[in-house]
């Protein structure tokens, strides 16, 4: 690795999300979210685990910001819990909830770390879910109230805003398959949810620009590069269908103002509830695209659809995800060629491995280090080939609550000893610290 291709403005960061790290679910007037409720139902989350305490970031954030400083991170991506700001989803703003993020932003700035705010990382207030949730159009309007209150308070100091994290996951895992909160399983609901998530994104872009003049605004998508398993036409069609549902379904409306025809036809008779003008709103120009990348998919046709094919020669992470840095390179080049976003931030990339705390107090994670190094290399190659990648955020700073997997999957570059909540930087932390120091010296 040379690291010479990274511009000196490149943002080296780490990413987190509110429900996965904060804990303090009953403090300072926070309302209930769909994840609080989902976790309380037996069988939804491994071992009945919840985000009630998580990493206790709500109280320990000064210690974690000190870790970020030690890392040399230029940016910290976190999300704002909607139920802390608007406990009922809309209406009265809970100022103590916003105060927390105010303190966090100030602490970051005092340590010369740029705050990067995600508005929606999946913790919808239950009051809105009870009124129909994301399949209802009114949730998109409520999201604007949340965006307005948050950007009004933080917009003078936060210059990078992400409206949504992974709308595909929020819509399909939450409403289509029922394996994430709120645990509903209906294809029309998933399609309606996805449409309203996108609509709310477009509406919020304007709101944020009004409240935070000069800020950069974007959205984060989980994109997966899909390759056909063979040169057969059937496998090529299967890979195109996978790409359509996962990637183009979101990229096309945002960048081209239309849903892809082939996917619309495949999903018929279900269709998203599109009204006149919606696609103009959704395609409001953005300043950057956030890309979360974890794996590639090798897709084969089956008699009743398609399936992912296991690659015997590949390495897989604890999530069962295939490691493929080259997939990230291909994806970045392709998104640049087909959609030309003004800038791309890789807003999440990382891996779960079975880390253990040794008796000598060390957590050695060479697999994660190799994973991250491979992906940073892929980004460097993409930049050298003209793709405007402006930032890279490792998922995640800390081991944390990995949704339905509970605390069973460790993604952090810092180990969390859950019984004591002690933080122990892993060897990948030192590796990333050195990489940032080296890259910023070369770049700057």
One-character DSSP codes across 102-171 = HHHHHHHHHTT-EEEEEEESS--BHHHHHTT-TTSHHHHHHHHHHHHHHHHHHTTT--EEEEEE-HHIII
The CA-atom distances, in angstroms, between 333 and each of 10, 341, 441 are 18, 11, 26
Tracing tokens 């950007």 back to the chain, one arrives at 151
Q: Is 112 in the active site?
A: no
| Smallest separation (angstroms) from ligand FCB to the CB of 351 | 9
Q: Is 297 in the active site?
A: no
Are 319 and 352 spatial neighbours (Cβ–Cβ below 8 Å)?
yes
Residue 19 lies near ligand FCB (rule: CB under 6 A):
no
Are 127 and 89 spatial neighbours (Cβ–Cβ below 8 Å)?
yes
For residues 313 to 342, the per-residue mask of contacts with ligand FCB, x marking binding by CB under 6 A and - elsewhere, is ------------------------------
Are 99 and 36 spatial neighbours (Cβ–Cβ below 8 Å)?
no
Name which of 403 and 431 has its Cβ closer to ligand FCB: 403
| Smallest separation (angstroms) from ligand FCB to the CB of 15 | 8
213 phi/psi in degrees, rounded to 5: -60, 135
Instruction: For the segment 376-415, give every residue that binds ligand FCB (CB under 6 A).
Output: 395, 402-403, 411
Name which of 20 and 94 has its Cβ closer to ligand FCB: 20
Which residue among 129, 166, 297, 402 is the active-site one?
166
| Smallest separation (angstroms) from ligand FCB to the CB of 165 | 5
Which of 33, 163, 292, 369 is in the footprint of ligand FCB by CB under 6 A? 292
Q: Which two tokens stand for residue 219?
A: 């959205």
Measure the CA angle with vertex 340, ends 240 and 250; round to 5°: 45
Count, residues near ligand FCB per rule CB under 6 A? 12
Name which of 252 and 348 has its Cβ closer to ligand FCB: 348
Nearest C-alpha neighbor of 430 from the set 341, 364, 378: 364
Kindly report the length of the chain.
444
Which of 17, 119, 193, 376 is in the footprint of ligand FCB by CB under 6 A? 17
Name which of 11 and 180 has its Cβ closer to ligand FCB: 180
Instruction: For the segment 151-170, give every residue that binds ligand FCB (CB under 6 A).
Output: 165-166, 169
Residues with a catalytic annotation lie at: 166, 348
Contact residues toward ligand FCB (CB under 6 A) are: 17, 20, 165-166, 169, 222, 292, 348, 395, 402-403, 411
């Amino acid at each position: 690795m040379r690291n010479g291709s990274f511009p000196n403005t490149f943002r080296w960061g780490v990413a987190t999300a509110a429900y996965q790290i904060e804990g303090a679910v009953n403090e300072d007037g926070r309302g209930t979210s769909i994840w609080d409720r989902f976790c309380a139902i037996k069988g939804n989350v491994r071992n009945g685990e919840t985000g009630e305490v998580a990493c206790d970031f709500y109280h320990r954030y000064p210690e974690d910001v000190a870790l970020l400083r030690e890392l040399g991170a230029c940016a910290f991506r976190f999300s704002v819990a909607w139920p802390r700001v608007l406990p009922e989803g809309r209406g009265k703003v809970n100022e103590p909830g916003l105060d927390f993020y105010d303190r966090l932003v100030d602490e970051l700035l005092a340590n010369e770390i740029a705050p990067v705010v995600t508005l929606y990382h999946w913790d919808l207030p239950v009051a809105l879910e009870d009124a129909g949730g994301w399949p209802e159009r009114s949730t998109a309007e409520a999201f604007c109230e949340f965006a307005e209150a948050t950007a009004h308070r933080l917009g003078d100091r936060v210059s990078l805003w992400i409206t949504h994290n992974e709308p595909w996951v929020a819509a399909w895992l939450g409403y289509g398959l029922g394996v994430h909160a709120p645990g509903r399983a209906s294809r029309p609901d998933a399609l309606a949810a996805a449409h309203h998530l996108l609509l709310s994104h477009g509406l919020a872009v304007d709101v944020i620009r009004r409240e935070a003049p000069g800020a950069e605004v974007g959205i984060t998508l989980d994109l997966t590069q899909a390759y056909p398993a063979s040169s057969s036409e059937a496998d090529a069609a299967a890979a195109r269908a996978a790409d359509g549902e996962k990637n183009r379904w979101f990229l096309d409306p945002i960048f081209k103002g239309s849903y892809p025809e082939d996917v619309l036809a495949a999903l018929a008779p279900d269709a998203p509830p599109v009204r006149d003008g919606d696609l103009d709103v959704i395609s409001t120009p953005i300043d950057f695209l956030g890309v979360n990348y974890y794996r590639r998919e090798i897709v084969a046709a089956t008699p009743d659809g398609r399936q992912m094919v296991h690659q015997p020669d590949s390495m897989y992470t604890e999530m069962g995800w295939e490691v493929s840095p080259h997939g990230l390179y291909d994806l970045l080049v392709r998104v640049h060629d087909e959609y030309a976003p003004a800038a791309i931030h890789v807003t999440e990339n990382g891996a779960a491995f079975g880390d253990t705390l040794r008796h000598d107090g060390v957590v050695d994670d060479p697999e994660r280090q190799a994973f991250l190094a491979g992906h940073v290399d892929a980004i460097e190659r993409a930049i050298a080939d003209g793709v405007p990648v402006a930032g890279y955020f490792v998922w995640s700073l800390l081991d944390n609550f990995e949704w339905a997997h509970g605390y069973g999957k460790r993604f952090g570059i810092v180990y969390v000893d859950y019984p004591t909540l002690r933080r122990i930087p892993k060897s990948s932390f030192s590796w990333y610290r050195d990489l940032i120091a080296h890259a910023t010296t070369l770049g700057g």
